[in-house]
Amino acid sequence: MNAPHDRRPASAGEDDDQYSATVLGSQWIQRPGPDEPGATLVDTTPLSPAAPTVLRFGPGVTAALTHGLPAGVAAPRPPERPRRGPRRHALPALVLIAAVLFVLWRQGPVVPLSVREVTVTAERGTVGCGETAVVAAVVHTNGRSGTLTYRWVRNDGTSSGVLRTDVENGQRSTRLRLLWSFEGEGRYSAVARLRILSPGSGTADVRFFYDCPLSPDPARP
């Protein structure tokens, strides 16, 4: 009976007494390779039809999920999200700009309120004893909105304080009024003057008469 041959792999030195063996599973068999007979290990584990290969798509797929892909098949790339740039806001912005330009075009250039002409008239040329004179003024403007500031001045030495009135857009004339009361006997030449303080400056006046005859003296024969 022949003695069994020692099949331990050759080590780097003849003096090595110990070596470690690698335990292979039963599914691995040794097949001869083209250059080194008996040096190729092949996995013979059959593929289970109940465990199909799962391919996952989308963001977050790691290399571990695509480990089971067949050789030569590249892992699918996640679909690219559409880029939201400034173009999606371009059309609404253009529509808004066009609307603003249209409104400005309809309104025309922004022009402040200005006074073009001032006229003052008296309701009556002569008022009698104890009556009140009505003086009216018309201020013609350019039709823009704003505030008129003015003052009435009388030739008897009195004047009003600074008065104000608002003018609406599209309003081209504004009416102002002064009431001047008289009493006593005599005849008086009255002058009422309107002074525009803003915008700009201007004046206009009117003359009328107060006439209250003297009562007869009962002591005269």
Q: pLDDT value at position 147?
A: 96
Q: Which of 116, 135, 148 is nearest to 210 (CA)?
A: 135
Quick one: DSSP state of residue 57?
Answer: -
Per-residue pLDDT tens over the stretch 32-52: 555 555 444 444 555 555 555
pTM for this predicted structure: 0.51
115-212: CATH architecture: Sandwich (2.60)
Quick one: DSSP state of residue 158?
Answer: -
Q: Which of 133, 137, 132, 131 is nearest to 163 (CA)?
A: 137
> Widest CA span of the chain, in angstroms?
194
Distance CA 110, CA 121 (A): 33
Q: What is the pLDDT along the chain (221 residues), one digit of tens a residue?
A: 444 444 444 444 444 444 444 444 444 445 555 555 544 444 455 555 555 555 554 555 454 444 555 555 555 666 666 565 566 677 788 888 988 888 777 666 678 999 999 999 999 999 999 999 999 999 999 999 999 999 999 999 999 999 999 999 999 999 999 999 999 999 999 999 999 999 999 999 999 999 999 876 555 55
Tell me how long the chain is.
221
Count Cα neighbours of 115 within 13 Å in the Cβ-side half-sphere.
Answer: 21
Q: pLDDT value at position 144?
A: 94
